[in-house]
Amino acid sequence: MLRVVRTTDGVVVDISGKLAGRGAYLHDRRDCWERGLKGVLANALKTDLSPDDRVRLETFMKSLPQDAGEKTM
């Protein structure tokens, strides 16, 4: 599971799991992130994703495997 955090600088992926701010968790699979970016994640973080937030999260999402059976390189 990967933590995503709403900070004063926007929504970011919290690799360390220790950033301060309201957080939500997503599985480390692209299909889970695609569903999350459709609105569930913004709702969990109680915020609207800005265009910069969306670009940042989509860029990270592209590095993830499509499903549980696929490996990243």
Length of the chain as a residue count: 73
Is the residue at 48 inside a domain?
Answer: yes
Residue 71 has pLDDT above 60, yes or no: no
Is the residue at 41 inside a domain?
Answer: yes
Based on C-alpha coordinates, what's the Rg of the chain? Answer: 12
Is the residue at 66 inside a domain?
Answer: no
Distance CA 38, CA 19 (A): 24
Is the residue at 72 inside a domain?
Answer: no
Distance CA 13, CA 23 (A): 9
Structural domain tally of the chain? 1
| Average pLDDT of the chain, as a whole number | 91
Domain that holds residue 47: 2-61
pTM, two decimal places: 0.84
Per the rule left: phi > 0, alpha: psi between -120 and 50, beta: everything else, 46 is left
Is the residue at 24 inside a domain?
Answer: yes
pLDDT digits (tens, 9 = 90+) for 28-55: 999 999 999 999 999 999 999 999 999 9
